Amino acid sequence: VRCQHYPPLRALQASAALRRASDEHKKEPLTSSSQQHFDSPPAGHQPEQEPQGPRPSYTGQGGQESEDYESEEQLQHRILTAALEFVPEHGWTAEAIAEGAKTLGLSVAAAGMFHSDGSELVLHFVSECNAKLSKMLEKEQKLVQLGEAEKKPIDEFLRHAVEARLRMLIPYIEKWPQALSVLLLPRNIPSSLNLLTSMIDDIWHYAGDQSTDFNWYTRRAVLTGIYNTTELVMMQDSSPDFEDTWRFLENRVADAVTMSNTASQVQSTGEAVVQGLMGAAVTVSNAETSRAVR
């Protein structure tokens, strides 16, 4: 739970909830990202708000330093991050966003800034997870480069990356089917597809893929197939710590690697389709058995 740094006096700017970036700097060194935001302010802004670059700091009343104010996007990010805590209870909905806004000291009406179907919340979560994954893979790559860790063989690397990424869903696994349906709304498909492909790209990049021929596409397609099917299997997996899911993942990755070893060129989308079919078959059979057991 973040403690709230709200300027008790409104000093020079009328906005009360847009925190001074200086307060945020005290908590996390996010200078570079906040500068990025200031470089591209949303259109239609009045001159009161100063999103362009750092201004000379000076003391307002009460001895507080007034530097840059955060932009609307940053505030929205903070609201969405706070809202994630309420997702297990309320689902991916405007209610969760309203609760999140409340914890930041804002009115519940602030949830009106977002769509009432919770799209932004899901997309925000997915992009946060992808960012976390990237950072993790980058760190591991650095360790390998410094010689402090062994370079993993390709199948183990892929397994490790996909597992790490899917584990981030565990706290929200109950409501994840709802999130998937939100991601498939026509309005959201461009963004969700974008997030998915960039994540797959990242994983292959850190796996050391340097291909510039047709392999590039086939590798992306294969890994996308593996990721999506494993996600579906995880949805209805009730084994302790999702062991069944990881075993499924291991088998799929092994299949993919074997096939690329036996052929000089990985066969294209045919593989992805087969994997998709296998994954669907496993999902269905698991669903049947679990239903039969009940």
Partner 1 sequence: VRLWRCRCWALLSRPAGRLRASRGLAAGPEMHFGFQSVTEEERREKIYQVFESVAKKYDVMNDSMTLGIHRVWKDILMHKMNPSPGTLLLDVAGGTGDIAFRFINYVRSVRERQLQRKLKHHQNLSWQDIFESYQKDKFNSLGDSQVVVCDINREMLKVGKQKAQHLGYSEGLSWVLGNAEELPFDSDKFDVYTIAFGIRNVTRVDLALQEAYRVLKPGGRFLCLEFSHVSNPLLSRLYDLYSFQVIPVLGEVIAGDWKSYQYLVESIRRFPPQEELKAMIEDAGFFKVDYENLNFGIVAIHSGFKL
Residues binding partner 1 (CB under 8 A)? 6, 14-18, 44, 46, 48-49, 72, 75, 94-95, 98, 101, 104-113, 116
> Shortest Cβ distance from residue 270 to partner 1 (Å)?
45
Instruction: Considering the complex, state which of residue 106 and residue 222 has its C-beta at the smaller distance from partner 1.
Output: 106
Instruction: Considering the complex, state which of residue 44 and residue 62 has its C-beta at the smaller distance from partner 1.
Output: 44
Own/partner pairs for 233-236, CB < 8 Å, 24+ apart? Answer: 233/279, 233/282, 233/283, 233/286, 234/166, 234/169, 234/173, 235/173, 235/176, 235/177, 235/180, 235/283, 236/283, 236/286, 236/287, 236/290
Instruction: Considering the complex, state which of residue 93 and residue 275 has its C-beta at the smaller distance from partner 1.
Output: 93
Instruction: Considering the complex, state which of residue 71 and residue 230 has its C-beta at the smaller distance from partner 1.
Output: 71
> Shortest Cβ distance from residue 97 to partner 1 (Å)?
10
> Shortest Cβ distance from residue 240 to partner 1 (Å)?
23
> Shortest Cβ distance from residue 236 to partner 1 (Å)?
20
Instruction: Considering the complex, state which of residue 54 and residue 105 has its C-beta at the smaller distance from partner 1.
Output: 105
Tally: H helices and E strands in the chain:
12, 2
> Shortest Cβ distance from residue 287 to partner 1 (Å)?
22
Instruction: Considering the complex, state which of residue 25 and residue 115 has its C-beta at the smaller distance from partner 1.
Output: 115
- 3-state helix/strand/coil string of the chain: CCCCCCCCCCCCCCCCCCCEHHHHHHHCCCHHHHHHHHHCCCCCCCCCCCCCCCCCCEECHHHCEECCECCHHHHHHHHHHHHHCCHHHHCCCHHHHHHHHHHCCCCHHHHHHCCCCCHHHHHHHHHHHHHHHHHHHHHHHHHHHCCCCCCCCHHHHHHHHHHHHHHCCHHHHHHHHHHHHHHCCCCCHHHHHHHHHHHHHHHHHHCCCCCCCCHHHHHHHHHHHHHHHHHHHHHCCCCHHHHHHHHHHHHHHHHHHHHHHHCCCCCCHHHHHHHHHHHHHHHHHHHHHHHHHC
> Shortest Cβ distance from residue 177 to partner 1 (Å)?
17
> Shortest Cβ distance from residue 126 to partner 1 (Å)?
23
> Shortest Cβ distance from residue 217 to partner 1 (Å)?
40
Instruction: Considering the complex, state which of residue 94 and residue 121 has its C-beta at the smaller distance from partner 1.
Output: 94
Instruction: Considering the complex, state which of residue 18 and residue 168 has its C-beta at the smaller distance from partner 1.
Output: 18
